Amino acid sequence: MFEYLLKHNRMNESDARGKFRQILSAVQYCHRKNIVHRDLKAENLLLDYQNNIKLADFGFANHFNATSLLDTFCGSPPYAAPELLNGEKYIGPEVDVWALGVILYLFISGSLPFEASNLKELHRRITQCDYRIPYFMSTKCELIIKRMLEIDPIKRSCLEVM
């Protein structure tokens, strides 16, 4: 997907919706099996010969359950949830949901929601949820992204309601 976005810059919302549904389906399957990916990003979304998306790079994946919190920072900083950057413990799925919000934003806008020239500024922008919605993004899409990019992991949308 990364190369696709480099070539095409961004997707229209209809195309993004179709691709995003495929990603949601794959991540929901993982979560039903109590597996959290922890490194969802455009570079780990592969397109097959029919342009179907495949999840790749399960190197940071782990089993999760509600009684045993995870505490390892995994993934790429621009896709990392605030709780990861703050070194907080987490159940698992909520960090994937955050990364999915970043991915959906990227698909539609052609850029990451949180960009900075250094890690300190990136950390600030993510933990304060400091990003801008492009003028061309629909209200419906904006609301979905805002529910996924919720600072509080307890209030963050879950995949079952997507």
Residues marked active site are found at: 39
| Cβ proximity of 5 and 143 under 8 Å | no
| Cβ proximity of 64 and 93 under 8 Å | yes
Token pair recorded at residue 133: 């919605």
| Cβ proximity of 20 and 103 under 8 Å | yes
| Cβ proximity of 93 and 159 under 8 Å | yes
